Amino acid sequence: MKRADIIEFKRGKFFSVSGVLGNLLKLFDRQWDGWGWHVGFVWEKVAGGWFILEATNTGVTRNYYHNGYLKKNARYWEWFIDYPEQEAMDKFAHETIGKKYDVAIYFWTAVAIIARHYFNRPIPKLLDKRFSCWELVAEGCADFDQPIVSKYDVIILNDLIKAFKKAGLSPKAFGD
């Protein structure tokens, strides 16, 4: 893994929020592998693990993950052709760390999955200063001059996965 790679964490069991929404998504998108649900940016390697920039229920922050945990629960994608400079990453972190988590994303994700399936249209994203993990990654990719999806549509995890695959990428296991 390298700084700015996009890390994807395994989704929860059926009765978790990620399990329920993931199963809903799997019903409507049979091509999605259903493996992950939460994403973030690989930020900094330290002794025994990595710091990941992510949006969690406490907001946008950098969290430490031990190598053993990552090996069992994460995979990553090498999205960037030209990796962002440290200065650009520091600026993005400064602008996003501390921003609130977008709790409404769970409702909008369900609406977006259904709208896309029945009406074949994305729904517009509300422009706010809160982030879900998917929104954080999409915003970062745009800021780092390699957009992954439109920043004006509600983003769903499989949008990221489809963009990765369209670019010819495959997920890598931690330690590769």
Largest CA-CA distance found in the chain, in angstroms, rounded = 49
**Which residues on neighbouring strands pair with residue 173, listed in sequence order?**
75
**Each residue's pLDDT tens digit, 85-98:** 999 999 999 999 99
Residue 29: the pLDDT is: 78
Q: Domain count of the chain?
A: 1
pTM for the full predicted model: 0.87
Residue 26: the pLDDT is: 79
**Each residue's pLDDT tens digit, 10-60:** 987 767 677 677 777 777 777 878 888 899 999 999 999 999 999 998 999
Residue 146: the pLDDT is: 95
CA distance 122 to 108: 11
Residue 149: the pLDDT is: 85
CA distance 25 to 150: 19
pLDDT interval class at 176 (50, 70, 90): low
Look up the domain containing 119 and give its range: 6-173
Write phi, then psi, for 49 (nearest 5 degrees): 180, -155
Average pLDDT, the chain: 87
Neighbours of 65 (CB within 10 A): 20
Residue 9: the pLDDT is: 94
For residues 104-132, average pLDDT: 72
Query: Does 1 reside within a domain?
Result: no
CA distance 75 to 120: 30
Whether the pLDDT of residue 170 is over 80: the answer is yes
Residue 126: the pLDDT is: 63
For residue 69 the two structure tokens come to: 């945990």
Residue 85: the pLDDT is: 95
CA distance 29 to 31: 5
